[in-house]
Amino acid sequence: MRLSASLLCIYFYALLSSGTSSSGDDRRWLVVLVDLVELDYVDHCEQRATATWNELIGGNKGLSTKLERDKAFGIFSKHQTTEVRKGLSGYTLAANDDVLKRKVKLLLQPGDTLLEPEQWIKLVTFGNTALHRIRFATDYDCGNNRSCTLRELQSSLARQQDEETLISMKKSWEQNLPDMTEYLEQILPLLRNASKENEHESVEDYWNFLVEYEGALLKARELWDNIKPLYIKLHKYVSLRLKGSDAVGNPLPVHLLKSLNGDDWSNIIESLLPQHPAIYQKVQANLQLKDLGGINAFKAAFNLIEELKLGELEADLWTDSIFNSTCPPVLLDWCKPNKVRIVSCKDVSLVNYVDAHEAAMKMKYKEIAAVHSNNTYILREAPRYSATFEAIPGFISLLALNPHALNRSGLFPLDVFSYNANHHRLVLQLITALQDLPKLNFYLAADEWRLKVLMGLIPYSKIPSSWSEFRKEFSLLETSDIDLLGDPYILFNKPFIGKFMGLILKYQIYHSFADELISDEHDLVNHVSENNERISNTMMQGFGRPWPEMISELLATRENGLEFTGLTDYYRLLDDYLDRQLDPPKESSDDYIEPVTEPSPEENEIIEISREKTEATIKDETHEDLLENVIDTGIDDLLAKFGAETSTVGVLEIKNPVHSGDQSKDVKEASYNTYWWIGIAVVLAIIVILIAIIARKRHNHRKQLERQRRDNTHA
Ligand SMILES: *[C@@H]1O[C@H](CO)[C@@H](O)[C@H](O)[C@H]1NC(C)=O
Ligand SMILES: *[C@@H]1O[C@H](CO)[C@@H](O)[C@H](O)[C@H]1NC(C)=O
Ligand SMILES: *[C@@H]1O[C@H](CO)[C@@H](O)[C@H](O)[C@H]1NC(C)=O
């Protein structure tokens, strides 16, 4: 109905503009046609967003309306392509008519919607139905045969210690995934058809075209070759800590990583922390204490975005979004300025905190692109995969863990940070590495495997088990054959290549700003806020230009391609640390300085509260665990007296701590006696010093308490 109205308008317009068809008239005709097509696209977007929203919040008939809208969209989009092509016939766009050319190009090559209608319908039906089931199933196994929802599954997976239970949790998730045979026979091959419809020889070409980067997959392979050594080191370190030195170099079962498909290893961080994990413990404790999950995490994110002078928060976001669903956050866009909503979860965790920053910045990105007047629909919502759209929000999430940002959000004081800056940086690097390195690997693995299957490089009979084979080889992980079907990008045949490149570019952006700082101690957040034009300029352009053309502006350098060095430079400290762990030097060089200041009473309180919280959650688990953990904590307390740092993770530590391999094997017999005597002398000296320190601290502490008591009675 709307469409015929649009066409009518064009005819009127054509009649009104004079009969002589000069090339100026042809252009005006085309501009009007494109405007009208874009308006119709906006209508569709709005209807689809409303339907998707109803489905996400579990509305009655949510799924069926969403399916209807999505089906209609494909047919509409294919039809519009024909209309634009007709409108273009006989007219050649002038070489300098950039914006119009760009719009026409994007409208003529919309990607998968060019599939034959029944094939498009097959694709969206498969994807939507599968996602709906994963999201709303209530028969996941949360341990002890207790059925639960996806949200509960995710949070109990993170806390579960028992290997058998972890396996059965993962199995219960796999039972809710769609059928692999159907995927392999009906869905994946649609990629070949979509490539053909978009006039590409191979699926790889098609994906390169969709991400708008020439030779994208080749480039990704090259980048990965240079990042792989770091990934392998991290993998070895994880094996060493989880399973001991014998396991190093062997594939790791993903359930041990407390992950469903191995694309994020954050859940095992407590088994991997270096000797002085103070920053992790305090940040974690403060997140709990300040309840920085759900809506609060997003508020913190918008505070950071405001500090970066990238804009303010939209008030109606809070009233309209929902925060009691599942993580990671889903963004919903109505394709008009100021109407984007979130569906997220309320659980407090570091990963959710970081993810909230990324999602919040994506909203801001969309808003900024929309407000900019030149970005009409197709230049905002182009059917393309942009690495800048991934990288800029990712960069903001990196900044969320910057020492100055942590200080301002009250998560970790800067003066304590500066005391052992490099050590704390190392811990922060570990936190992000556990998220990003496995993701990079997963993204490339999933794209490579799909290309291999489609190119017929895997014998037909071996295809069903080939994903886990591929993962073993490419990622050194033991996964199931079907776990990739839990990811929306797989279900809808979307390439990960844009996300892969976005992760690379995010570290390049970080590097470009960090490089301009005079010293590492300076406030990076402040520096970015003072030089944020290159970020906002990129966002304003939306899809007006292909993203690779904007790289050099964004990075304020002459490099205009992707480089792995941003990432490898960022993880320098982690890299060194992993080297030392995997191949310990003869003399241990622990340059951690014990803080001289005692934790303030409030800090102790925070730590106590968070300990109680953690214990309370642990109590849900088996009693056996609890008993052992309490014993662990006792020992921790003793140790803490010497180390002035209190541990909050004691209760969560793995049951069988792994000892770090073969030390002092090669101490020579001859020098044995000398070493022994020196050793005794050193130990004696240390004991004397420790006793003195403890006595003094006790004394000081008692004095302080007395002073407080006196103050209180006076008050
Ligand atoms: C792809 O297109 C061909 C030819 O149009 C068709 O026979 C085939 O069924 C399509 N593939 C799928 C998976 O629908
Ligand atoms: C989520 O919160 C909304 C109100 O904001 C409420 O209506 C709904 O029942 C809640 N859902 C769950 C699963 O708790
Ligand atoms: C963007 O729009 C403004 C007016 O809204 C116009 O002056 C300018 O030329 C446009 N830019 C491009 C690149 O078309």
Distances (CA, A) of 530 to 331, 361, 507, 533, 534: 29, 18, 19, 8, 11
| pLDDT tens, residue by residue, 53-85 | 999 998 889 999 999 999 999 999 999 999 999
Residue range 439-462: mean pLDDT, rounded: 96
Residue 285 and residue 349: Cα distance in Å, rounded? 10
What is the pLDDT, as a whole number, of residue 90? 73
- Measure CA 98 to chain center: 34
Distance 121 CA to ligand 1 centre (A): 13
CA–CA separation, 441 vs 231, rounded Å?
8
- What was the pLDDT predicted at 709? 58
Counting beta carbons within 10 angstroms of the beta carbon of residue 707, is it exposed (0 to 12), middle (13 to 18) or buried (19 or more)? exposed
With bands split at pLDDT 50, 70 and 90, how would you rate the model's confidence at 372? Answer: confident
Residue 688: per-residue pLDDT: 67
Q: Does 193 contact ligand 1 (Cβ within 6 A)?
A: yes
What is the whole-number distance in angstroms between the Cα of residue 375 and the centre of ligand 3?
A: 10
Rg of the chain over all Cα atoms, to the nearest angstrom: 28
Residue type, 398: L
CATH among 3.90.1010.10, 3.10.330.10, 1.10.1370.20, 3.30.2130.10 for 121-137+176-574: 1.10.1370.20
What are the residue boundaries of the structural domains of the chain, listed by start? 5-108, 121-137+176-574, 631-706
CA 99 remoteness from chain centre: 33
Tell me the ligand closest to 189's alpha carbon. Answer: 1
Lowest mean per-residue pLDDT among 320-334, 638-652, 696-710: 638-652
CA-proximal residue: ligand 3, atom 2 (nearest): 374
Q: Is the CB of 373 under 6 A from ligand 3?
A: yes
Q: Confirm if 357 and 402 have CB atoms less than 8 A apart.
A: no
What's the whole-number mean pLDDT along residues 388-414? Answer: 96
Measured distance CA(309)–CA(388) in Å, rounded = 19
Residue 51 confidence (pLDDT) above 90: yes
* Res. 569: pLDDT tops 80: yes
Residue 693 is predicted with a pLDDT of 65
pLDDT tens across 347-359, in order? 999 999 999 999 9
Whether residue 614 has pLDDT greater than 60: no
List, for residues 472-520, the tens digit of each pLDDT value.
999 999 999 999 999 999 999 999 999 999 999 999 999 999 999 988 8
Whether ligand 1 lies within 6 angstroms of the CB of 189 is answered as yes
232-282 pLDDT per residue, tens: 999 999 999 999 999 999 999 999 999 999 999 999 999 999 988 999 999
Q: How far is the CA of 99 from the centre of ligand 3 (A)?
A: 9
Atom of ligand 3 nearest to the CA of 373: 5
